[in-house]
Structure 1
Amino acid sequence: MDLGARMRVAVVGGGWAGLAAAVELLAAGVEVVVHEAARRLGGRARSVVMHGQRLDNGQHILSGAYGETLRLMQQVGADPARLLHRVPLALCFPGAASERPFALRLPRLPAPWHLAVGLFSARGASLGEKLAALRCLRRWQGTGYRLAADCSLAALLDHDRQFGALRRFLWEPLCLAALNTPAADASAQVFLNVLRDTVGGARAASDLLLPAVELDALFAQPAAEFIRAHGGEIRLSARVEQIGESLGIAGERYAAVVLAVDAPHAAALLAQHGQTADLARLLAGYRCEPIATVYCAYPRELRLSEPMLGLAGGSPTRVGQWVFDRGALCGNDGLLAFVLSGRGAWEELDNSALFAALAGELAGVLRRRLPDPAWVRVVRERRATYSCRPGLPRPAAQTARRGVWLAGDYVCDEYPATLEAAVRSGVAAARGILGAPAAGQRAGNGLT
């Protein structure tokens, strides 16, 4: 449908959801104005300057199942083959001197053999645990990865007798990485959705896609160039505080508005109109989970055995989760990035104590003393994502107010707060405006 001659759409928010909506609309010939409150695009997935280097505000991982993200990257001229390291899923926990190491790698075999062979060849788990995990996967697959009623992942694992090494090093770390919510609190249904589309899908869908460039270059910059090249407008430092009765923003009227902002900001805007008051209350009630990334600039010769290593594996006495070798990923030799997801004991430590704990745990894993880093930078996102809990009501893309649409990782009800969820939500909002809803997306009164 060619709506460009008579439709002008405002996209409020220049994160990945808003940029995805803008690209999709512009590709259909619609006039788009992006309003971004910050001075840079990218939202929570953006680059910042640290000690003279352009780094990410947090380490992100993509997967081969990120179909919409990969499609839009290609559409805006960002070649995934060049910008992402594609590697088979590998979860490696070397362990300290007194601990048994764990390693699981999925080979490049057709599905489902890649998963079966990967599980059976995993080091650090007993044969009984591996057989129990395969039986469990077959049960989940037999139900289409659907639960009769949602519950916490911990409760589901208890019910399906998933204990021992595979619970500690596979299920729980995957949950924390994907949902940014500890297994005791996380939605089992959303976790199963992730499994369905990754390890339960085609072999390539389970691959890890590790950024080889900073996040701005991965999508935000190419998307901005695409938007401007197709006649769109981007306004930075332009925070939207109100949407007028005739969909007016800063004195300009629009045919439609896409709210591609975080849940608290969306709630504040939606609360101003009676038709979206219930939706505003829903979003205002969302709880949040934190993420921290600790960058450490060690001597250039320091390298890890893997681009991504696991540390404690759920040990209650330690804080470390994952450490990434930015030298292997992005050419920042010697730069390590520790990532901490979800609520935990690490939140109680100040930056110095947090670094000391992580460095000590990594030294124990590597079984050697680490040199002093040239600098350390701790980036804490206290409200990084919503808490992906069982039965959490999620909004639809279309709100009860005519012409107002939602986009954001919290809108994509199948997925947790990931880049793919953000992109899918933006595409869904754009296609809803165009009259062609995205597959699997709902339209309605804004509540589920």
Structure 2
Amino acid sequence: MTEARKIAVIGAGWAGCAAAVELASAGHAVTLFESSRTLGGRARAVELQDQTLDNGQHILLGAYSATLSLLKTLGVSAEQALLRLPLQMRYPAGCDGMDFVAPRLPAPLHLLTALLRAKGLDTADKMALARFSTTARWMEWRLHTDCSVTELLERYDQTARLIKLMWQPLCIAALNTPPERASAQVFLNVLRDSLGAKRAASDMLIPRTDLTSLLPQQAAAFVERHQGAVKTGAAVQSIRAHGQQWSLGFNNEEITAELFDGLVIATPALTAANLLAGTGAEAHIPAFDYEAITTCYLQYPAGTRLPAPFFALTDDATQGLWGQFVFDRGQLDVNQDGLFAIVVSISTAATELGQEALSAAIAQQLAQALEMPQLAQASWSKVITEKRATFSCTPGLQRPEEQTALPHLVIAGDYLASDYPATLESAVRSGVKAAKLLAQHFA
């Protein structure tokens, strides 16, 4: 049996929670520190109008194997906690869009059938999509040299309509980076593990509950059941080495008397860089550029419903059309009847309007796109913006590794080296990897 060690995990976002669970499972005594009062980091619950919502609407994928495995470890039934839908890109009638829904057939028949049945695409669009998919598989989803998504789509002669209705919204949703600046290789990685894998991997999974309840709270309870501790409102400002052990300094400059055998720093990149300074474990953490994501919540009378749980929307900033996806929260949770969540990725320009003007513009957009005039006036609205929701996922971006120069100190986060962009899955994978590195050191 490996000797149990005392481990501090700094940061209770999804990466920190994943690391804490992995280490607790291995028999180590884990203390999880979180500066906020709410667990979850940039994917957490917020209280609005006497309702528990999220700071941003998320979609997971069936390909998110690490996240689904962690939920299973925590005893969370994915089938109950997540609404599983087949891969789809559906636009409401007022958008001049497309209707693409993959049937539940074995791969790749599900995509071929969806393409043949797709509405809103002509023959040239469908041939371009088939050609891209076939070529990407033949290339094994790899590029010799990374480029932008726009360059990739131009290289393979994708039609303007297909780019507008499918590739651009998929790129923005997955990478939160505009196609002209987004990494084609990372985009291909996401497509490889969803479109290029088994049919279930391409399924879209929408949380029925708030994100904090879905995983972070369950992770905290798991740690506590395994003789660990969870401390919220505990902002770690510094770390100090004592031989092969560590003490922590907090926002009141108090230094813990308690010493830890190992550390996992699972904070945002800038915070991690500051904590590592002067420790001998400095990692090269670049000064990332960041992209904002905004979610606009609009409440309508009970019984107001969409024909489907979510739709894509055609956005055009020049016409004041900001929303990119709309979710009917009432189809996810009966307690949120009549509540819609509208996502605006890469949202810096949208937020410059101000919350009231942006909410009004989005309500008008919904009324037109869904051909439901009553949506132009919501009973209440709330706009939530995460200004540093993700790093800008550009071609050739070098991202640091979890291991530092000191084997008893590791870092974790969605910004670390990964095939994926800044997603919940990349955060969980990084947390698990960091924990295993630390556990191997103590083995």
Read off the aligned partner of 1:265 and give its amino acid letter. Answer: T
Q: For 2:233 and 2:165, how far apart are their aligned partners in 1?
A: 43
2:358 to 350, 354, 357: 354
Moved more, 197-206 or 112-121: 112-121
Question: Are the structure 2 counterparts of residues 41 and 368 from structure 1 closer, same or farther at C-alpha, using a change threshold of 3 Å?
Answer: closer
Give 1:426's aligned residue.
431
Give 1:64's aligned residue.
62
Matches within 5 A, 1:208-357: 208-246=204-242, 247-249=246-248, 250-276=256-282, 279-280=284-285, 282=286, 285-313=287-315, 316-317=318-319, 318-331=321-334, 332-343=336-347, 345-357=349-361
**Matched position secondary structure for 1:380:** strand
**Matched position secondary structure for 1:408:** coil
Read off the aligned partner of 2:270 and give its amino acid letter. Answer: P
**Matched position secondary structure for 1:362:** helix
2:30 to 29, 32, 38: 32
- Given that 1:91 and 1:104 are in contact with CA atoms closer than 8 Å, whether structure 2 keeps it comes out as yes
- Given that 1:412 and 1:422 are in contact with CA atoms closer than 8 Å, whether structure 2 keeps it comes out as no
Q: Compute the displacement of 1:71 (Å).
A: 0.8
Q: Compute the displacement of 1:272 (Å).
A: 3.1
Read off the aligned partner of 2:367 and give its amino acid letter. Answer: A
Read off the aligned partner of 2:145 and give its amino acid letter. Answer: A
Give 1:2's aligned residue.
2
Q: For 2:259 and 2:332, how far apart are their aligned partners in 1?
A: 45
Give 1:105's aligned residue.
101
Q: Compute the displacement of 1:222 (Å).
A: 1.2
Read off the aligned partner of 1:108 and give its amino acid letter. Answer: R
Matches within 5 A, 1:172-187: 172-187=168-183
- Given that 1:398 and 1:429 are in contact with CA atoms closer than 8 Å, whether structure 2 keeps it comes out as yes
> What is the number of equivalent residue pairs in this alignment?
429
Q: For 1:328 and 1:315, how far apart are their aligned partners in 2?
A: 29
2:374 to 357, 364, 370: 370
1:78 to 2:45 alignment: no
Q: For 1:229 and 1:62, how far apart are their aligned partners in 2?
A: 27
**Matched position secondary structure for 2:23:** helix
Give 2:413's aligned residue.
408
- Given that 1:104 and 1:123 are in contact with CA atoms closer than 8 Å, whether structure 2 keeps it comes out as yes
Read off the aligned partner of 2:329 and give its amino acid letter. Answer: R
Report percent identity of matched pairs. Answer: 44
Question: Are the structure 2 counterparts of residues 44 and 275 from structure 1 closer, same or farther at C-alpha, using a change threshold of 3 Å?
Answer: closer
- Given that 2:93 and 2:371 are in contact with CA atoms closer than 8 Å, whether structure 1 keeps it comes out as no
**Structure 1 stretches of 4+ moved >6 Å:** none
- Given that 1:211 and 1:330 are in contact with CA atoms closer than 8 Å, whether structure 2 keeps it comes out as no
- Given that 2:402 and 2:411 are in contact with CA atoms closer than 8 Å, whether structure 1 keeps it comes out as yes
Q: TM-score, normalised by structure 2?
A: 0.93
Moved more, 242-251 or 60-69: 242-251
**Matched position secondary structure for 1:398:** coil
- Given that 1:169 and 1:313 are in contact with CA atoms closer than 8 Å, whether structure 2 keeps it comes out as no
Q: For 1:199 and 1:327, how far apart are their aligned partners in 2?
A: 28
1:12 to 10, 13, 16: 10
- Given that 2:407 and 2:441 are in contact with CA atoms closer than 8 Å, whether structure 1 keeps it comes out as no
- Given that 1:95 and 1:312 are in contact with CA atoms closer than 8 Å, whether structure 2 keeps it comes out as no
- Given that 2:61 and 2:201 are in contact with CA atoms closer than 8 Å, whether structure 1 keeps it comes out as yes
Question: Are the structure 2 counterparts of residues 134 and 22 from structure 1 closer, same or farther at C-alpha, using a change threshold of 3 Å?
Answer: same
**Matched position secondary structure for 2:222:** helix
Read off the aligned partner of 1:325 and give its amino acid letter. Answer: D
Give 1:159's aligned residue.
155
- Given that 1:321 and 1:339 are in contact with CA atoms closer than 8 Å, whether structure 2 keeps it comes out as yes
Q: Compute the displacement of 1:401 (Å).
A: 3.0
- Given that 1:180 and 1:387 are in contact with CA atoms closer than 8 Å, whether structure 2 keeps it comes out as yes
- The root-mean-square deviation of aligned C-alpha atoms, in Å, is 1.7
Q: For 1:298 and 1:311, how far apart are their aligned partners in 2?
A: 19
Q: Compute the displacement of 1:62 (Å).
A: 0.6
Q: TM-score, normalised by structure 1?
A: 0.92
